[in-house]
Structure 1
Amino acid sequence: MVHQYQITGMTCGNCVAKVKSALLMVPFVTEVEVSKELSSATITMDKHISLNTFQSALDPKYQITALSHSEMTEQAKSWFETYKPVLLIFIYIASSTLLIQFTNSVFDWMQWMQYFMAAFFLVFSFFKLLNLKGFAESYQMYDIVAKRFNGWAYIYPFIELALGLAFLLNFNVVITNSVTFLVMGISIIGVLQSVLNKKQIQCACLGAVFNLPMSTITIIEDLLMIGMSVWMLLYHFYN
């Protein structure tokens, strides 16, 4: 079973590590995800564990409380309200790149995909870089590489930025799309695990600027980039 709690008193990354370590020591707890940005902890356990047990395991300066039904209801905004930022970004990117093609005499689908991917990576890396530390903390909660190598969470936004520039400048098609396929292919593993396990954690796709929950929207984003990179590679080799 998975339960979400609010934790106060966390002020730094070291606090997050201490809280996570303490909660993992509680018997029957199998997994813990802690977010300083959200002041929350998502705990997976084999059997019900009382709140007092968790509080006893923590340093007194950290206070843990169960997320009440009213708080959960307040957070459960409409689907559109929740994902409005990312939906608007997709609309802007799709519209602007389509308009570029309408200025050409012939609509070039490959060029449209190239510009779409360029804009996608440039915009999404921008939001991640606005609060690099906040993004890294969120990303480490679910990415399979960042969980083991914290530095990857800090490097990842710059990889997206580099990919965006590579697509914009029409840099080597094979290298750019191969790297995109590899990076997004690895990224989607952690996303799928989180969504399938129904973990209530923050999606780091727009950094720490917006509080977006992990969902199928995140899967679609990654699959879209994977699909486009594969399509462009196939087009390059067979045309």
Structure 2
Amino acid sequence: MTKSETRHKPRRAEIYRMVMDKHICPYGIKSKYLLERQGYEVDDHWLTTRQETDDFKKKHSVETTPQTFIDGERIGGYDELRQHFDQPMPDQADTSYRPVIAIFVTAFLMGLAVSWAAFGTVWTLRMPEMFIATAMCLLGVQKLQDVESFSTMFLNYDLLGRRWVPYGYFYPFGETLAGVLMLAGALIWLAAPIALFIGLIGAVSVFRAVYVQKRELKCACVGGNSNVPLGFVSLTENLIMIMMGIWMPIRMYLLDG
């Protein structure tokens, strides 16, 4: 074999993964895709029955599938394969602002989209209002997915929630309701006080916990299972609710009046 043939000889890998009528292993699909991205030609072996899968595990003394082999050496499952290619799995316990960034970016784009659909332009007075109101709705939905978990995390720092536990259950409904009403421009007499009240209590609570007591906590702003640090983002959420609680009645009664 010439040097040129050696250099261009395709790298090969084998993968054994579950592909059954009622279950196709997602990690097997991702492992195959990762190998192909790395330039490997993959010999894809399907384990199509439970017995076949159990026999494979017993033969190779492994507890899980998929299993990848490169040059006859067993690499392991999807996590081990990522590590083999220097792509370690992210630690689920690591703090991250990604969820809240995704919410605010999506809300901003939705605000632009609604403004364009309603007024034919993205730059209107209503666009920032729709952006913030949409963000409130999206943040509220995150909390409403698991109100119990949210309320538990919320009580770590919220001053009113510690004194009156039901407030932790009311908060996500109040935030979502205020956001929906402000998005519609309806019942501002109800939406504005709700946003102003929960925003003020939240801002004071976050400022005290983070900047006075110097506590390192997780924020419940995107739900009770989030890894978003309590701090600037949490304070911003409350400040924009305060701003909307003040601005919306002013615009309604003065500018539109």
When normalised by structure 1's length, the TM-score is 0.61
Select the residue among 231, 241, 257 that pairs with 1:225: 241
Contact 2:179 2:191 in 1 (8 A): no
User: Which residue is equivalent to 1:179?
Assistant: 194
Contact 2:132 2:240 in 1 (8 A): no
**Shift in CA distance, 176/110, structure 1 to aligned 2, threshold 3 Å:** farther
Question: Can you give the 5+ residue segments of structure 2 that lack an aligned partner in the other structure?
Answer: 1-90
The equivalences for 1:8-87 within 5 A come to 82-87=96-101
Aligned residues: 163
Structure 1 SS opposite 2:251: helix
Contact 2:198 2:238 in 1 (8 A): no
Tell me, yes or no, if structure 1 residue 216 matches structure 2 residue 203: no
Select the residue among 151, 155, 160 that pairs with 1:136: 151
1-side partners of 2:236 and 2:188: how far apart?
A: 23
Letter in 2 for 1:231: W
2-side partners of 1:170 and 1:106: how far apart?
A: 19
Q: Which moved more, 1:166-175 or 1:204-213?
A: 166-175
Contact 2:133 2:180 in 1 (8 A): yes
User: Which residue is equivalent to 1:207?
Assistant: 223
User: Which residue is equivalent to 1:153?
Assistant: 168
2-side partners of 1:211 and 1:101: how far apart?
A: 32
Greater RCO, 1 or 2 (C-alpha within 8 Å, sep 6+): 1
Letter in 1 for 2:104: F
Question: Can you give the 5+ residue segments of structure 1 that lack an aligned partner in the other structure?
Answer: 1-73
Contact 1:130 1:209 in 2 (8 A): no
CA deviation string 1:141-176 (max 9, x = no partner)? 111110011111111111122212222332222331
When normalised by structure 2's length, the TM-score is 0.57
- Cα root mean square deviation, aligned: 2.3
